[in-house]
Structure 1
């Protein structure tokens, strides 16, 4: 029961007779023509309003469902290889233009239901929009590397039903289905229902995985050009033995154990239960004004009991020390937003005014108790697993430490895009944000610490675009971002309160959509400076046991990116990307390092990252083959250990069988053993998945 990977949506369905083309039966899925413009996007909403990417003076990418389908993508980690400047860090976190980033948006709003250590699923996502660089104007506080926006599938006017059965290595088995279409004859009300189930036993020892997702929505055409869409989604991820850390390595990055090694016992677990509800109203007002407003609410509970590796036992190169953690994380958030766009002629020039605001309130409560003494170490070479019963009983005698974090964000923006001529566009915008953060920590019934901070910040964005022809644009821009300091660091004992971390970027580039959009090639160069990063000031004595912090850290990130999506022939499509990044600490206190950095380098920030995917279709026999690769250069871990470079290859075959389509896919064809990212010397590097195979049988009506 869940959403099918929308393979059928990217094939052409037609009815034909024998006199026309050889007599394909009615309803057959024909692969002919599927390659053209397969992975391209003509419109994006990453700027809060539907817009041509050529008219945005900042690098961006849109990954659509066609690519999900061809690559058999299941979750967010499956698509990072398609995005220049983005590589895996940990769980749902990425390195984005040199900076660690964990924040995601859904349909332009805050409210990620995959909290903590779960990864966003793609089954109910129609596309992923990536805006690179500071995005403070439209999205408020955040990392200067960029943002990822997941755009949900919504009810469609055309009736359809898609079902997908899945099987693969690691005992993978699953089924998904979705139905959409009009409810009434006039098509005023449309619906979408979908469900997803998948279970597997991953390659890491003791791990199992079971995912359930249910999704439904209604769209109502309220007026001419107006539509109200309401949606509800529930998620249930049951992950025994799957609260994963890495595998320990030596300083050269060589694994000290089999990559199947796991610090978790068979009875350890992670369980995520989430629900998300949202409503969105959009309408045209006359011929020059559009308006949309949305509300989103989510509530998630993540429960976990697991063994955390704590590095090698002193004097023993085979035993890993462990501690046992019992944690419950409850997070809920409510978000509102509204945006309006107006096109007007003013003083002899055409203007596109955008104005909007958003509001977000989140509560995150972590209950945690940790058993540090008496936990049995685990061998790297010959691990012997039992159960967690003994550690569960012992940890239950400890009181929970509760960390209650409250986060509030309010912001409003205004932007003007001025068409000086058909070839020249100027863009300028300003935003004001107010934030209010607080953290209360207690053990049992006793409050041990409390801190709070509120402030406001103005963010700017400016750019210029020159279009020598309608399908090409040259641009330059400046954009800003900021992040409030963590509320826990705002204590007066630590020297607080402190102003936010700020980020500013200068970027220039070229975007093209040549040959009627069949060639989209983009080049961007950037320089980001991030300031006011807090560090311990060793020259000052501690106050009440707390080190004194000062905003004395600065980072400079420089690089360039190339993205290409093209039809080489009518049957052959190619998508490729390359990113170069050099992120360095440019200001710090002697002997100190900013968070996620070692010396003057950042953890998991590769200099070079390359990816490509190509697909060739043999239309007469209804078959297509795909082939791709990803290369990530050398990195360092949070502990300064080497993370070796890697290159992996993947392939797929798609075969049309009438109304059924078959996908066969192999990942990591040559079974390369590699580290997807580095973490710490205590918990090791995250190993990449060995060779795996996936088969999907897709049925579409």
Structure 2
């Protein structure tokens, strides 16, 4: 719940880097195939006797083996911590910027036997297609000791992101000359904008002591989550008329031109002229609240565990 509505809870533990009191700095360069270049750097250090800071940046761009497909990623990460003796306060801010060209990939057409009908670099997307993400994340945490027997950690997390995308979707395999070989693909078009806000809070407490001559460990806590998504979804559906006009050489500027499997005719379609139909704006809200108690009693020869979740 802490990391958003789409996170598969329990499958992974997402841990961000925290500021450290010991000075450390590094820089790295990135290079690879498909024009991959980039670099990263970070620095962390004590700001005073009980305050620490950290800054980090990451940048990478690369093409792929698929036509019209590329990516550019930039991340800025910062952190500040204040040591309050038995309690540690940490504030973090991260900005993500991701620009993907032609990355809504749907595979390469095959025949019934699974043989590719064209080169594996073929892409149904135009060079103008994109999926761009901008996201800002703020996280505040406080952790420490309530007593010598009880520890705690709390986290408040806020996420604000926007995702815009334009892409073509393959919809029909076409034999244009009737020779039994598929040589064209009819397509649809999507124009979508999603804006999301998420806020979550988690608090966990752990008590350790003895009970009934056994070592006792009791954990309890709460999870609170609220998320809102505003979506503006538009598109242009596939039409057989697009194919008929293309084969007759009478295509309109607003047509989604079918794409050849061999020597793809990229650039003939004009997405700016498509007749895009938008649905009514949609807002989705989600609220989740949870609580749990977990108790463990351990004797020399066996352990008893009881748990309750709401």
TM-score range for the pair, normalised by the shorter chain length:
0.7 to 0.9
Indicate the residue corresponding to 1:219 in structure 2.
81
Distance in 2 separating the partners of 1:430 and 1:382: 62
Query: Could you tell me which residue of structure 2 aligns to residue 399 of structure 1?
Result: 278
- Aligned equivalent of 2:249: none
1:191 matched to 2:60:
no
**Residue 417 of structure 1, aligned match among 296, 301, 305:** 296
Query: Which stretches in structure 2 are left out of the alignment for 5+ residues?
Result: 243-255
State the partner residue of 2:228: 363
Matched, 1:381 2:262: yes
Rounded Cα–Cα distance in structure 2 between residues aligned with 1:273 and 1:169: 26
User: TM-score, length-normalised on structure 2?
Assistant: 0.87
Q: Is the Cα–Cα contact under 8 Å of residues 19 and 80 in structure 2 kept in the other structure?
A: yes
Q: Is contact 1:326–1:395 with CA below 8 Å preserved after alignment?
A: no
- Could you tell me how far apart the structure 2 residues matched to 1:338 and 1:385 are? 53
* SS of equivalent to 2:15: strand
Contact 2:117 2:182 survives alignment (8 Å): no
Change (3 A) 1:402 1:249: farther
Cα deviation digits, residues 382-415 of structure 1 (max 9, x gap): 2110065x2332234x333433221110000000
Query: Aligned to 2:207, what secondary structure does the other structure show?
Result: strand
Counterpart of 2:3? 110
Aligned-pair distance for 1:365?
Answer: 2.1
Q: How far, CA to CA, are the matches of 2:101 and 2:66 in structure 1?
A: 11
Q: What number of residue pairs does the alignment pair up? A: 290
1:23-42 aligned at under 5 Å gives the runs: none
Change (3 A) 1:395 1:191: farther
Q: 1:265·1:387 contact (CA, 8 Å) conserved in 2?
A: no
Partner of 1:555: none
> In structure 1, which of residues 323, 335, 358 is the aligned counterpart of residue 188 of structure 2?
323
Select 1:164's aligned residue among 28, 43, 58.
Answer: 28
Cα distance 1:289–1:229, how it changes in 2: closer, same or farther (>3 A)?
Answer: same
Residue of 425, 428, 441 corresponding to 2:306 = 428
Contact 1:227 1:282 in 2 (8 A): yes
3-state secondary structure, aligned to 1:250: coil
Matches within 5 A, 1:423-572: 423-432=301-310
RMSD: 2.0
Q: How far, CA to CA, are the matches of 1:337 and 1:308 in structure 2?
A: 40
2:173 is aligned to 312
Q: 2:157 aligned to 296, 304, 307, which one? A: 296
Which whole-Å CA distance do the structure 1 matches of 2:73 and 2:100 have between them?
A: 8
Match of 2:98 among 215, 220, 237: 237
In structure 2, do the counterparts of structure 1 residues 206 and 189 end up closer, same or farther at CA, with 3 Å as the change threshold?
Answer: same
* CA distance in structure 2 between the aligned counterparts of 1:254 and 1:403, rounded to whole angstroms: 41
The unaligned stretches of length 5 or more in structure 1 are 1-104, 116-138, 433-701
Following the alignment from structure 2 to structure 1, what is the Cα–Cα distance between the partners of residues 110 and 168?
A: 18
Contact 2:235 2:278 (8 Å CA) reproduced: no
After TM superposition, the structure 1 = structure 2 runs for residues 4-19 of structure 1, keeping only pairs within 5 Å, are none
Q: Which residue of 2 aligns with 1:176?
A: 40
